[in-house]
Structure 1
Protein backbone atom coordinates (compact mmCIF):
# COMPACT_ATOMS: atom_id res chain seq x y z
CA UNK A 1 0.00 0.00 0.00
CA UNK A 2 1.52 3.27 -1.24
CA UNK A 3 4.98 1.71 -1.41
CA UNK A 4 5.04 0.54 2.20
CA UNK A 5 6.38 -2.91 3.00
CA UNK A 6 4.16 -5.73 4.22
CA UNK A 7 6.10 -5.82 7.48
CA UNK A 8 5.56 -2.10 8.13
CA UNK A 9 1.87 -2.37 7.24
CA UNK A 10 1.43 -5.36 9.54
CA UNK A 11 3.18 -3.49 12.32
CA UNK A 12 0.82 -0.53 11.96
CA UNK A 13 -2.22 -2.80 11.93
CA UNK A 14 -0.96 -4.45 15.12
CA UNK A 15 -0.66 -1.01 16.75
CA UNK A 16 -4.16 -0.25 15.49
CA UNK A 17 -5.53 -3.39 17.12
CA UNK A 18 -3.84 -2.51 20.41
CA UNK A 19 -5.18 1.05 20.35
CA UNK A 20 -8.56 -0.29 19.28
CA UNK A 21 -8.57 -2.62 22.29
CA UNK A 22 -8.29 0.35 24.65
CA UNK A 23 -10.81 2.37 22.63
CA UNK A 24 -13.29 -0.52 22.85
CA UNK A 25 -12.85 -1.08 26.60
CA UNK A 26 -13.12 2.60 27.48
CA UNK A 27 -15.99 3.37 25.11
CA UNK A 28 -17.79 0.29 26.46
CA UNK A 29 -17.63 1.76 29.97
CA UNK A 30 -18.89 5.10 28.66
CA UNK A 31 -21.73 3.41 26.77
CA UNK A 32 -22.86 1.55 29.92
CA UNK A 33 -22.88 4.76 31.97
CA UNK A 34 -24.68 6.78 29.31
CA UNK A 35 -27.19 4.00 28.70
CA UNK A 36 -28.68 4.27 32.20
CA UNK A 37 -27.59 7.64 33.56
CA UNK A 38 -27.76 9.60 30.29
CA UNK A 39 -24.65 11.42 31.46
CA UNK A 40 -21.57 11.99 29.34
CA UNK A 41 -18.91 11.04 31.87
CA UNK A 42 -15.97 13.38 31.30
CA UNK A 43 -14.20 11.82 34.29
CA UNK A 44 -13.85 8.49 32.46
CA UNK A 45 -10.33 9.29 31.22
CA UNK A 46 -9.24 10.31 34.71
CA UNK A 47 -10.63 7.05 36.12
CA UNK A 48 -8.63 5.16 33.46
CA UNK A 49 -5.53 7.06 34.59
CA UNK A 50 -6.39 6.26 38.21
CA UNK A 51 -6.52 2.54 37.37
CA UNK A 52 -2.99 2.62 35.94
CA UNK A 53 -1.75 4.70 38.87
CA UNK A 54 -3.28 2.34 41.44
CA UNK A 55 -1.60 -0.63 39.73
CA UNK A 56 1.75 1.18 40.00
CA UNK A 57 1.14 2.05 43.68
CA UNK A 58 0.24 -1.56 44.50
CA UNK A 59 3.49 -2.71 42.89
CA UNK A 60 5.72 0.01 44.33
CA UNK A 61 4.47 0.10 47.92
CA UNK A 62 2.69 -3.19 48.61
CA UNK A 63 4.51 -5.55 46.27
CA UNK A 64 1.24 -6.59 44.63
CA UNK A 65 2.03 -7.61 41.07
CA UNK A 66 0.29 -7.25 37.75
CA UNK A 67 -1.95 -10.34 37.95
CA UNK A 68 -3.47 -9.40 41.29
CA UNK A 69 -3.74 -5.78 40.14
CA UNK A 70 -6.00 -6.91 37.28
CA UNK A 71 -8.44 -8.10 39.97
CA UNK A 72 -7.89 -5.63 42.80
CA UNK A 73 -7.84 -2.39 40.79
CA UNK A 74 -11.22 -2.86 39.01
CA UNK A 75 -12.80 -3.76 42.36
CA UNK A 76 -11.34 -0.67 44.06
CA UNK A 77 -12.19 1.63 41.15
CA UNK A 78 -15.66 0.12 40.91
CA UNK A 79 -16.11 0.83 44.63
CA UNK A 80 -15.02 4.40 44.00
CA UNK A 81 -17.65 4.52 41.25
CA UNK A 82 -20.31 3.50 43.77
CA UNK A 83 -19.22 6.29 46.14
CA UNK A 84 -19.18 8.86 43.34
CA UNK A 85 -22.63 7.86 42.15
CA UNK A 86 -24.19 7.86 45.63
CA UNK A 87 -22.49 11.07 46.76
CA UNK A 88 -22.60 13.12 43.56
CA UNK A 89 -24.37 11.64 40.54
CA UNK A 90 -27.50 10.61 42.45
CA UNK A 91 -28.17 14.27 43.22
CA UNK A 92 -28.51 14.97 39.49
CA UNK A 93 -31.10 12.31 38.69
CA UNK A 94 -33.63 13.84 36.35
CA UNK A 95 -31.69 17.10 35.95
CA UNK A 96 -30.53 18.54 32.63
CA UNK A 97 -27.64 16.36 31.32
CA UNK A 98 -25.42 19.44 31.06
CA UNK A 99 -25.08 19.45 34.86
CA UNK A 100 -23.74 15.90 34.85
CA UNK A 101 -21.30 16.80 32.11
CA UNK A 102 -20.04 19.82 34.06
CA UNK A 103 -19.80 17.82 37.28
CA UNK A 104 -17.76 15.01 35.71
CA UNK A 105 -15.57 17.54 33.89
CA UNK A 106 -14.75 19.20 37.20
CA UNK A 107 -14.15 15.81 38.80
CA UNK A 108 -11.72 14.90 36.01
CA UNK A 109 -9.74 18.12 36.59
CA UNK A 110 -9.61 17.41 40.33
CA UNK A 111 -8.31 13.85 39.87
CA UNK A 112 -5.72 14.91 37.31
CA UNK A 113 -4.52 17.83 39.43
CA UNK A 114 -4.26 15.64 42.53
CA UNK A 115 -2.25 13.01 40.62
CA UNK A 116 -0.02 15.69 39.11
CA UNK A 117 0.67 17.24 42.52
CA UNK A 118 1.46 13.88 44.10
CA UNK A 119 3.49 12.23 41.34
CA UNK A 120 4.57 15.00 38.95
CA UNK A 121 4.26 14.97 35.17
CA UNK A 122 7.02 12.48 34.38
CA UNK A 123 6.00 8.94 33.54
CA UNK A 124 6.16 6.10 36.05
CA UNK A 125 7.58 2.82 34.75
CA UNK A 126 5.44 -0.28 35.11
CA UNK A 127 7.17 -3.44 33.92
CA UNK A 128 5.60 -6.10 31.74
CA UNK A 129 4.99 -9.23 33.88
CA UNK A 130 7.63 -11.90 33.45
CA UNK A 131 5.14 -14.42 32.03
CA UNK A 132 4.22 -12.07 29.17
CA UNK A 133 7.67 -10.95 28.06
CA UNK A 134 9.16 -11.84 24.71
CA UNK A 135 7.19 -12.48 21.55
CA UNK A 136 6.86 -14.42 18.32
CA UNK A 137 8.39 -13.75 14.93
CA UNK A 138 5.52 -14.42 12.52
CA UNK A 139 7.62 -13.68 9.48
CA UNK A 140 5.67 -10.61 8.37
CA UNK A 141 5.65 -9.01 11.84
CA UNK A 142 7.12 -9.48 15.32
CA UNK A 143 4.27 -9.95 17.78
CA UNK A 144 5.16 -9.09 21.41
CA UNK A 145 3.48 -11.45 23.83
CA UNK A 146 2.07 -8.65 25.96
CA UNK A 147 0.47 -6.96 22.94
CA UNK A 148 -1.17 -10.24 21.97
CA UNK A 149 -2.42 -10.59 25.56
CA UNK A 150 -4.00 -7.10 25.44
CA UNK A 151 -5.89 -7.92 22.24
CA UNK A 152 -7.05 -11.32 23.52
CA UNK A 153 -8.23 -10.17 26.95
CA UNK A 154 -9.94 -7.10 25.48
CA UNK A 155 -11.93 -9.24 23.05
CA UNK A 156 -12.91 -11.63 25.85
CA UNK A 157 -13.95 -8.84 28.23
CA UNK A 158 -15.93 -7.03 25.53
CA UNK A 159 -17.72 -10.24 24.60
CA UNK A 160 -18.40 -11.00 28.27
CA UNK A 161 -19.91 -7.56 28.88
CA UNK A 162 -22.01 -7.77 25.70
CA UNK A 163 -23.28 -11.22 26.73
CA UNK A 164 -24.08 -10.07 30.26
CA UNK A 165 -26.12 -7.11 29.02
CA UNK A 166 -27.80 -8.70 26.02
CA UNK A 167 -28.30 -12.31 27.13
CA UNK A 168 -28.81 -12.37 30.92
CA UNK A 169 -31.64 -11.45 33.28
CA UNK A 170 -29.55 -8.71 34.89
CA UNK A 171 -28.85 -7.25 31.47
CA UNK A 172 -32.55 -7.37 30.61
CA UNK A 173 -33.30 -5.44 33.81
CA UNK A 174 -30.66 -2.85 32.93
CA UNK A 175 -32.08 -2.39 29.44
CA UNK A 176 -35.64 -2.21 30.77
CA UNK A 177 -34.61 0.37 33.37
CA UNK A 178 -33.16 2.45 30.56
CA UNK A 179 -36.39 2.29 28.55
CA UNK A 180 -38.98 2.73 31.35
CA UNK A 181 -37.59 3.01 34.91
CA UNK A 182 -41.01 3.63 36.44
CA UNK A 183 -42.41 0.40 34.99
CA UNK A 184 -39.37 -1.60 36.13
CA UNK A 185 -39.78 -0.23 39.66
CA UNK A 186 -43.33 -1.62 39.81
CA UNK A 187 -41.85 -5.14 39.58
CA UNK A 188 -39.92 -4.58 42.81
CA UNK A 189 -36.58 -3.87 41.13
CA UNK A 190 -34.46 -1.16 42.76
CA UNK A 191 -33.73 1.07 39.75
CA UNK A 192 -31.44 3.32 41.78
CA UNK A 193 -29.29 0.31 42.67
CA UNK A 194 -29.16 -0.73 39.00
CA UNK A 195 -27.99 2.75 38.02
CA UNK A 196 -25.28 2.67 40.69
CA UNK A 197 -24.23 -0.78 39.45
CA UNK A 198 -23.98 0.57 35.90
CA UNK A 199 -21.77 3.46 36.99
CA UNK A 200 -19.56 1.13 39.03
CA UNK A 201 -19.25 -1.31 36.11
CA UNK A 202 -18.26 1.49 33.73
CA UNK A 203 -15.66 2.75 36.21
CA UNK A 204 -14.32 -0.78 36.78
CA UNK A 205 -13.84 -1.25 33.02
CA UNK A 206 -11.88 2.00 32.87
CA UNK A 207 -9.72 0.87 35.81
CA UNK A 208 -9.14 -2.51 34.15
CA UNK A 209 -8.07 -0.78 30.94
CA UNK A 210 -5.69 1.37 32.99
CA UNK A 211 -3.95 -1.70 34.42
CA UNK A 212 -3.57 -3.15 30.91
CA UNK A 213 -2.16 0.17 29.67
CA UNK A 214 0.43 0.50 32.44
CA UNK A 215 3.16 -1.63 30.81
CA UNK A 216 2.47 -0.16 27.33
CA UNK A 217 2.11 3.55 27.98
CA UNK A 218 3.83 5.69 30.54
CA UNK A 219 1.77 5.92 33.75
CA UNK A 220 1.22 9.66 34.15
CA UNK A 221 -1.57 12.09 35.11
CA UNK A 222 -2.15 13.10 31.47
CA UNK A 223 -2.69 9.63 30.03
CA UNK A 224 -6.46 9.93 30.35
CA UNK A 225 -6.50 13.31 28.63
CA UNK A 226 -4.60 11.88 25.65
CA UNK A 227 -7.22 9.21 24.93
CA UNK A 228 -10.60 10.42 26.19
CA UNK A 229 -11.37 12.72 23.24
CA UNK A 230 -10.87 9.80 20.84
CA UNK A 231 -13.02 7.55 23.02
CA UNK A 232 -15.86 10.09 22.98
CA UNK A 233 -15.63 10.16 19.18
CA UNK A 234 -15.78 6.35 19.14
CA UNK A 235 -18.91 6.35 21.32
CA UNK A 236 -20.62 8.95 19.13
CA UNK A 237 -19.79 7.00 15.96
CA UNK A 238 -20.97 3.70 17.41
CA UNK A 239 -24.08 5.21 18.96
CA UNK A 240 -24.46 6.68 22.44
CA UNK A 241 -25.42 3.89 24.81
CA UNK A 242 -24.91 1.10 22.22
CA UNK A 243 -22.82 -1.77 23.61
CA UNK A 244 -22.25 -3.39 20.21
CA UNK A 245 -21.51 0.01 18.69
CA UNK A 246 -18.87 0.77 21.31
CA UNK A 247 -17.08 -2.54 20.70
CA UNK A 248 -17.27 -2.55 16.89
CA UNK A 249 -16.36 1.12 16.55
CA UNK A 250 -13.50 0.85 19.04
CA UNK A 251 -11.69 -1.93 17.21
CA UNK A 252 -12.69 -0.68 13.75
CA UNK A 253 -11.53 2.89 14.31
CA UNK A 254 -8.28 1.70 15.84
CA UNK A 255 -7.55 -0.13 12.58
CA UNK A 256 -8.73 2.85 10.51
CA UNK A 257 -6.40 5.14 12.43
CA UNK A 258 -3.51 2.75 11.76
CA UNK A 259 -4.27 2.57 8.01
CA UNK A 260 -4.45 6.37 7.87
CA UNK A 261 -0.96 6.55 9.39
CA UNK A 262 0.22 4.34 6.52
CA UNK A 263 -1.58 6.14 3.70
CA UNK A 264 -1.41 9.74 4.92
CA UNK A 265 0.30 10.16 8.31
CA UNK A 266 -0.50 13.87 8.56
CA UNK A 267 -4.22 13.09 8.73
CA UNK A 268 -4.03 10.26 11.27
CA UNK A 269 -4.73 12.52 14.25
CA UNK A 270 -7.97 13.85 12.77
CA UNK A 271 -9.27 10.87 10.77
CA UNK A 272 -11.51 9.59 13.58
CA UNK A 273 -13.00 13.03 14.15
CA UNK A 274 -13.70 13.46 10.44
CA UNK A 275 -15.57 10.14 10.53
CA UNK A 276 -17.46 11.35 13.60
CA UNK A 277 -18.59 14.53 11.82
CA UNK A 278 -19.72 12.56 8.77
CA UNK A 279 -21.65 10.05 10.90
CA UNK A 280 -23.37 12.83 12.84
CA UNK A 281 -24.41 14.51 9.58
CA UNK A 282 -25.77 11.31 8.03
CA UNK A 283 -26.94 9.34 11.07
CA UNK A 284 -27.00 11.44 14.27
CA UNK A 285 -27.85 8.43 16.46
CA UNK A 286 -24.62 6.67 15.42
CA UNK A 287 -24.02 3.56 13.36
CA UNK A 288 -25.59 1.21 15.94
CA UNK A 289 -27.62 3.67 17.99
CA UNK A 290 -31.36 4.15 18.16
CA UNK A 291 -32.93 7.43 17.11
Structure 2
Protein backbone atom coordinates (compact mmCIF):
# COMPACT_ATOMS: atom_id res chain seq x y z
CA UNK A 1 0.00 0.00 0.00
CA UNK A 2 1.46 3.31 -1.15
CA UNK A 3 0.86 5.89 1.59
CA UNK A 4 2.30 9.37 1.22
CA UNK A 5 3.64 11.49 4.05
CA UNK A 6 1.16 14.23 3.20
CA UNK A 7 -1.74 11.79 3.70
CA UNK A 8 -0.42 10.84 7.15
CA UNK A 9 0.09 14.49 8.13
CA UNK A 10 -3.35 15.47 6.85
CA UNK A 11 -5.08 12.76 8.87
CA UNK A 12 -2.93 13.64 11.89
CA UNK A 13 -4.19 17.24 11.73
CA UNK A 14 -7.80 16.10 11.50
CA UNK A 15 -7.14 13.68 14.36
CA UNK A 16 -5.64 16.51 16.39
CA UNK A 17 -8.86 18.46 15.86
CA UNK A 18 -10.88 15.54 17.24
CA UNK A 19 -8.34 15.16 20.03
CA UNK A 20 -8.83 18.80 21.03
CA UNK A 21 -12.54 18.11 21.57
CA UNK A 22 -11.72 14.90 23.46
CA UNK A 23 -9.35 16.85 25.70
CA UNK A 24 -11.79 19.69 26.36
CA UNK A 25 -14.67 17.35 27.18
CA UNK A 26 -12.48 14.98 29.20
CA UNK A 27 -11.12 17.93 31.15
CA UNK A 28 -14.55 18.88 32.47
CA UNK A 29 -15.26 15.26 33.34
CA UNK A 30 -11.90 14.92 35.12
CA UNK A 31 -12.45 18.13 37.10
CA UNK A 32 -15.85 16.93 38.36
CA UNK A 33 -14.65 13.45 39.25
CA UNK A 34 -11.32 14.56 40.68
CA UNK A 35 -12.88 17.23 42.89
CA UNK A 36 -16.32 15.78 43.69
CA UNK A 37 -15.93 12.03 43.09
CA UNK A 38 -19.04 12.17 40.88
CA UNK A 39 -19.10 10.11 37.68
CA UNK A 40 -20.95 12.71 35.63
CA UNK A 41 -22.73 10.67 32.94
CA UNK A 42 -24.73 13.77 31.93
CA UNK A 43 -21.56 15.42 30.62
CA UNK A 44 -22.46 14.59 27.02
CA UNK A 45 -25.90 16.15 27.53
CA UNK A 46 -24.30 19.43 28.69
CA UNK A 47 -22.08 19.32 25.59
CA UNK A 48 -25.28 18.97 23.54
CA UNK A 49 -26.84 21.89 25.45
CA UNK A 50 -23.88 24.09 24.53
CA UNK A 51 -24.25 23.28 20.83
CA UNK A 52 -28.01 23.84 20.91
CA UNK A 53 -27.52 27.09 22.82
CA UNK A 54 -25.41 28.41 19.94
CA UNK A 55 -27.89 27.12 17.35
CA UNK A 56 -30.94 28.56 19.12
CA UNK A 57 -29.22 31.90 19.71
CA UNK A 58 -28.39 32.28 16.03
CA UNK A 59 -31.35 30.68 14.22
CA UNK A 60 -34.32 30.89 16.61
CA UNK A 61 -33.82 33.76 19.06
CA UNK A 62 -34.84 36.51 16.63
CA UNK A 63 -37.95 34.61 15.56
CA UNK A 64 -39.04 34.04 19.15
CA UNK A 65 -38.50 37.72 20.03
CA UNK A 66 -40.30 38.92 16.90
CA UNK A 67 -37.23 40.49 15.28
CA UNK A 68 -35.30 38.36 12.79
CA UNK A 69 -32.38 40.77 13.03
CA UNK A 70 -31.71 39.76 16.64
CA UNK A 71 -29.15 37.00 16.53
CA UNK A 72 -26.53 35.83 18.99
CA UNK A 73 -23.34 35.80 16.97
CA UNK A 74 -20.66 33.17 17.50
CA UNK A 75 -18.35 35.31 19.65
CA UNK A 76 -21.16 36.23 22.05
CA UNK A 77 -22.28 32.59 22.19
CA UNK A 78 -18.73 31.54 23.00
CA UNK A 79 -18.89 33.65 26.17
CA UNK A 80 -22.56 33.48 27.16
CA UNK A 81 -23.63 29.90 26.42
CA UNK A 82 -21.00 28.15 28.63
CA UNK A 83 -22.08 30.42 31.53
CA UNK A 84 -25.75 29.55 30.98
CA UNK A 85 -24.98 25.84 30.75
CA UNK A 86 -22.88 26.18 33.90
CA UNK A 87 -25.83 27.77 35.71
CA UNK A 88 -28.02 24.82 34.71
CA UNK A 89 -25.34 22.63 36.25
CA UNK A 90 -25.38 24.74 39.43
CA UNK A 91 -29.14 24.23 39.77
CA UNK A 92 -28.71 20.47 39.35
CA UNK A 93 -25.80 20.32 41.80
CA UNK A 94 -27.59 22.34 44.49
CA UNK A 95 -30.93 20.54 44.26
CA UNK A 96 -29.89 16.96 43.45
CA UNK A 97 -26.19 16.06 43.48
CA UNK A 98 -25.44 17.77 46.80
CA UNK A 99 -27.63 15.17 48.50
CA UNK A 100 -25.50 12.29 47.21
CA UNK A 101 -21.94 13.22 48.23
CA UNK A 102 -22.01 11.01 51.31
CA UNK A 103 -23.35 7.88 49.60
CA UNK A 104 -21.96 5.39 47.09
CA UNK A 105 -20.72 6.76 43.72
CA UNK A 106 -23.22 4.54 41.94
CA UNK A 107 -26.09 6.82 42.98
CA UNK A 108 -24.45 9.84 41.38
CA UNK A 109 -23.83 7.87 38.19
CA UNK A 110 -27.46 6.72 38.04
CA UNK A 111 -28.75 10.24 38.69
CA UNK A 112 -26.60 11.86 36.01
CA UNK A 113 -27.41 9.07 33.55
CA UNK A 114 -31.11 9.72 34.13
CA UNK A 115 -30.61 13.47 33.65
CA UNK A 116 -28.84 12.80 30.35
CA UNK A 117 -31.79 10.73 29.12
CA UNK A 118 -34.27 13.44 30.18
CA UNK A 119 -32.38 16.25 28.44
CA UNK A 120 -31.88 14.17 25.31
CA UNK A 121 -35.58 13.27 25.26
CA UNK A 122 -36.69 16.89 25.70
CA UNK A 123 -34.62 18.11 22.77
CA UNK A 124 -35.61 15.12 20.63
CA UNK A 125 -39.26 16.21 20.98
CA UNK A 126 -38.58 19.66 19.53
CA UNK A 127 -35.64 19.22 17.14
CA UNK A 128 -34.74 16.94 14.29
CA UNK A 129 -32.93 13.82 15.50
CA UNK A 130 -30.76 13.78 12.36
CA UNK A 131 -29.28 17.17 13.30
CA UNK A 132 -29.32 20.75 12.08
CA UNK A 133 -26.40 22.80 10.71
CA UNK A 134 -25.15 25.84 12.59
CA UNK A 135 -24.72 28.71 10.14
CA UNK A 136 -23.23 31.30 12.45
CA UNK A 137 -19.55 30.63 11.79
CA UNK A 138 -17.67 33.97 11.75
CA UNK A 139 -16.62 35.17 8.26
CA UNK A 140 -13.05 35.67 9.50
CA UNK A 141 -12.81 31.92 10.11
CA UNK A 142 -14.14 30.92 6.69
CA UNK A 143 -11.84 29.30 4.15
CA UNK A 144 -8.65 27.31 4.60
CA UNK A 145 -4.93 27.80 5.17
CA UNK A 146 -2.25 26.18 3.03
CA UNK A 147 -0.07 24.14 5.41
CA UNK A 148 2.06 22.77 2.58
CA UNK A 149 0.76 19.22 2.80
CA UNK A 150 -2.96 20.15 2.89
CA UNK A 151 -5.46 22.99 2.95
CA UNK A 152 -6.67 23.02 6.54
CA UNK A 153 -9.93 24.83 7.46
CA UNK A 154 -9.31 27.99 9.44
CA UNK A 155 -12.12 27.20 11.85
CA UNK A 156 -10.71 23.78 12.72
CA UNK A 157 -7.33 25.38 13.42
CA UNK A 158 -9.06 27.96 15.62
CA UNK A 159 -10.86 25.20 17.54
CA UNK A 160 -7.56 23.40 18.18
CA UNK A 161 -5.83 26.55 19.47
CA UNK A 162 -8.79 27.61 21.62
CA UNK A 163 -9.16 24.14 23.14
CA UNK A 164 -5.47 24.01 24.03
CA UNK A 165 -5.57 27.47 25.61
CA UNK A 166 -8.63 26.60 27.69
CA UNK A 167 -7.26 23.20 28.75
CA UNK A 168 -3.94 24.51 29.98
CA UNK A 169 -5.63 27.57 31.48
CA UNK A 170 -7.84 25.31 33.61
CA UNK A 171 -4.84 23.18 34.59
CA UNK A 172 -3.02 26.32 35.72
CA UNK A 173 -6.10 27.52 37.63
CA UNK A 174 -6.51 24.26 39.54
CA UNK A 175 -2.86 23.42 40.12
CA UNK A 176 -1.12 26.78 40.44
CA UNK A 177 -3.52 29.30 42.02
CA UNK A 178 -4.88 29.96 45.50
CA UNK A 179 -8.43 29.27 44.28
CA UNK A 180 -7.28 25.91 42.95
CA UNK A 181 -5.68 25.12 46.30
CA UNK A 182 -8.97 25.92 48.05
CA UNK A 183 -10.85 23.70 45.58
CA UNK A 184 -8.50 20.78 46.20
CA UNK A 185 -8.55 21.29 49.96
CA UNK A 186 -12.34 21.50 50.08
CA UNK A 187 -12.73 18.18 48.30
CA UNK A 188 -9.78 16.18 49.62
CA UNK A 189 -10.37 17.01 53.30
CA UNK A 190 -13.60 18.98 53.77
CA UNK A 191 -13.56 18.81 57.58
CA UNK A 192 -10.16 20.49 57.83
CA UNK A 193 -11.17 23.01 55.16
CA UNK A 194 -14.26 23.95 57.18
CA UNK A 195 -12.08 24.40 60.28
CA UNK A 196 -10.14 27.05 58.36
CA UNK A 197 -13.34 28.87 57.42
CA UNK A 198 -13.58 27.63 53.81
CA UNK A 199 -17.12 27.41 52.42
CA UNK A 200 -16.98 23.79 51.18
CA UNK A 201 -20.51 23.64 49.64
CA UNK A 202 -19.73 26.78 47.62
CA UNK A 203 -16.47 25.28 46.37
CA UNK A 204 -18.27 22.11 45.32
CA UNK A 205 -20.83 24.16 43.42
CA UNK A 206 -18.07 26.18 41.71
CA UNK A 207 -16.31 22.96 40.75
CA UNK A 208 -19.42 21.51 39.14
CA UNK A 209 -20.09 24.84 37.43
CA UNK A 210 -16.58 24.81 35.95
CA UNK A 211 -16.81 21.23 34.69
CA UNK A 212 -20.25 21.71 33.14
CA UNK A 213 -19.29 25.09 31.60
CA UNK A 214 -16.34 23.38 29.89
CA UNK A 215 -18.76 20.88 28.34
CA UNK A 216 -20.97 23.75 27.18
CA UNK A 217 -17.95 25.53 25.69
CA UNK A 218 -16.98 22.38 23.79
CA UNK A 219 -20.53 22.23 22.41
CA UNK A 220 -20.40 25.83 21.14
CA UNK A 221 -17.03 25.21 19.47
CA UNK A 222 -18.29 21.96 17.93
CA UNK A 223 -21.51 23.46 16.52
CA UNK A 224 -19.99 24.86 13.27
CA UNK A 225 -18.20 21.53 12.57
CA UNK A 226 -20.67 18.79 13.49
CA UNK A 227 -24.43 18.56 12.99
CA UNK A 228 -26.22 19.79 16.11
CA UNK A 229 -28.49 16.97 17.27
CA UNK A 230 -29.96 15.70 20.55
CA UNK A 231 -27.80 12.56 20.35
CA UNK A 232 -24.46 14.26 19.67
CA UNK A 233 -23.44 14.01 23.33
CA UNK A 234 -24.46 10.36 23.67
CA UNK A 235 -22.39 9.52 20.59
CA UNK A 236 -19.27 11.03 22.16
CA UNK A 237 -19.54 10.37 25.89
CA UNK A 238 -18.29 6.75 25.74
CA UNK A 239 -15.10 7.87 23.97
CA UNK A 240 -14.65 10.68 26.50
CA UNK A 241 -15.00 8.25 29.41
CA UNK A 242 -12.39 6.02 27.76
CA UNK A 243 -10.03 9.00 27.51
CA UNK A 244 -10.52 9.84 31.20
CA UNK A 245 -9.95 6.22 32.25
CA UNK A 246 -6.76 5.98 30.18
CA UNK A 247 -5.42 9.30 31.49
CA UNK A 248 -6.39 8.50 35.07
CA UNK A 249 -9.74 9.26 36.70
CA UNK A 250 -9.58 12.79 38.08
CA UNK A 251 -6.22 13.68 36.50
CA UNK A 252 -6.48 17.01 34.69
CA UNK A 253 -3.16 16.70 32.88
CA UNK A 254 -4.00 13.09 32.06
CA UNK A 255 -7.25 14.16 30.38
CA UNK A 256 -5.49 16.81 28.29
CA UNK A 257 -2.53 14.73 27.14
CA UNK A 258 -4.53 11.56 26.57
CA UNK A 259 -7.29 13.34 24.67
CA UNK A 260 -4.84 14.97 22.27
CA UNK A 261 -2.73 11.81 21.91
CA UNK A 262 -5.67 9.52 21.21
CA UNK A 263 -7.09 11.95 18.68
CA UNK A 264 -3.78 11.91 16.83
CA UNK A 265 -3.58 8.12 17.02
CA UNK A 266 -7.14 7.76 15.73
CA UNK A 267 -6.35 10.03 12.78
CA UNK A 268 -3.16 8.22 11.80
CA UNK A 269 -4.76 4.78 12.11
CA UNK A 270 -7.38 5.88 9.54
CA UNK A 271 -4.59 6.10 6.97
CA UNK A 272 -3.17 2.64 7.53
CA UNK A 273 -6.25 0.60 8.50
CA UNK A 274 -9.54 2.59 8.57
CA UNK A 275 -11.73 -0.17 10.15
CA UNK A 276 -9.54 -0.04 13.28
CA UNK A 277 -9.99 3.71 13.80
CA UNK A 278 -13.32 3.33 15.62
CA UNK A 279 -11.97 0.83 18.14
CA UNK A 280 -8.31 1.78 18.63
CA UNK A 281 -9.14 3.97 21.64
CA UNK A 282 -10.80 1.05 23.44
CA UNK A 283 -7.92 -1.27 22.57
CA UNK A 284 -5.53 1.26 24.13
CA UNK A 285 -7.80 1.51 27.18
CA UNK A 286 -7.74 -2.27 27.68
CA UNK A 287 -3.96 -2.40 27.37
CA UNK A 288 -3.41 0.53 29.74
CA UNK A 289 -5.76 -0.93 32.37
CA UNK A 290 -3.92 -4.27 32.21
CA UNK A 291 -0.57 -2.51 32.69
CA UNK A 292 -1.60 0.35 34.99
CA UNK A 293 -5.16 0.12 36.40
CA UNK A 294 -5.07 3.67 37.76
CA UNK A 295 -4.40 5.11 34.29
CA UNK A 296 -1.33 6.79 32.84
CA UNK A 297 -1.46 9.83 35.13
CA UNK A 298 -3.67 8.47 37.91
CA UNK A 299 -2.58 7.76 41.46
CA UNK A 300 -2.55 4.17 42.61
CA UNK A 301 -5.01 3.45 45.42
TM-score, with length taken from structure 2: 0.94
How many Å separate the matches in 2 of 1:260 and 1:111?
34
How many Å separate the matches in 1 of 2:36 and 2:181?
16
In 1, are the aligned partners of 2:133 and 2:227 still within 8 Å (CA)? Answer: yes
What's the counterpart of residue 76 of structure 1? 84
What secondary structure sits across from 1:165 in the alignment?
helix
**Which of 103, 109, 115 is matched with 1:101 structurally?**
109
What's the counterpart of residue 175 of structure 2? 166
The Cα of 1:205 is off from its aligned counterpart by 0.3
Task: Report whether the alignment pairs 1:11 with 2:19.
Answer: no
Deviations 1:153-192 (A, max 9, x none): 0110011101100110010111222321111111100111
What secondary structure sits across from 1:220 in the alignment?
coil
Deviations 1:113-163 (A, max 9, x none): 111111121211112211100111122111111011001101100111011
In 1, are the aligned partners of 2:187 and 2:204 still within 8 Å (CA)? Answer: no
The Cα of 1:266 is off from its aligned counterpart by 1.2
How many Å separate the matches in 1 of 2:82 and 2:117?
21
What secondary structure sits across from 2:60 in the alignment?
helix
Deviations 1:188-219 (A, max 9, x none): 00111111111110100000000000000000
Task: Report whether the alignment pairs 1:60 with 2:59.
Answer: yes
**Which of 250, 267, 287 is matched with 1:241 structurally?**
250
Aligned residue pair count: 290
Aligned ranges for residues 200-279 of structure 1 at < 5 Å? 200-279=209-288
What's the counterpart of residue 150 of structure 2? 141
Deviations 1:77-109 (A, max 9, x none): 011110010011011111100000000001000
What's the counterpart of residue 67 of structure 2? none
Aligned ranges for residues 90-129 of structure 1 at < 5 Å? 90-127=98-135, 128-129=137-138
Mind listing any 5+ residue stretches in structure 2 that lack a counterpart? 62-70
What secondary structure sits across from 1:3 in the alignment?
coil
Task: Report whether the alignment pairs 1:194 with 2:193.
Answer: no
Q: Structure 1 segments of 4 or more deviating over 6 A? A: none
What's the counterpart of residue 165 of structure 2? 156
How many Å separate the matches in 2 of 1:92 and 1:138?
50
Mind listing any 5+ residue stretches in structure 1 that lack a counterpart? none
Give the root-mean-square deviation of aligned CA atoms.
1.0
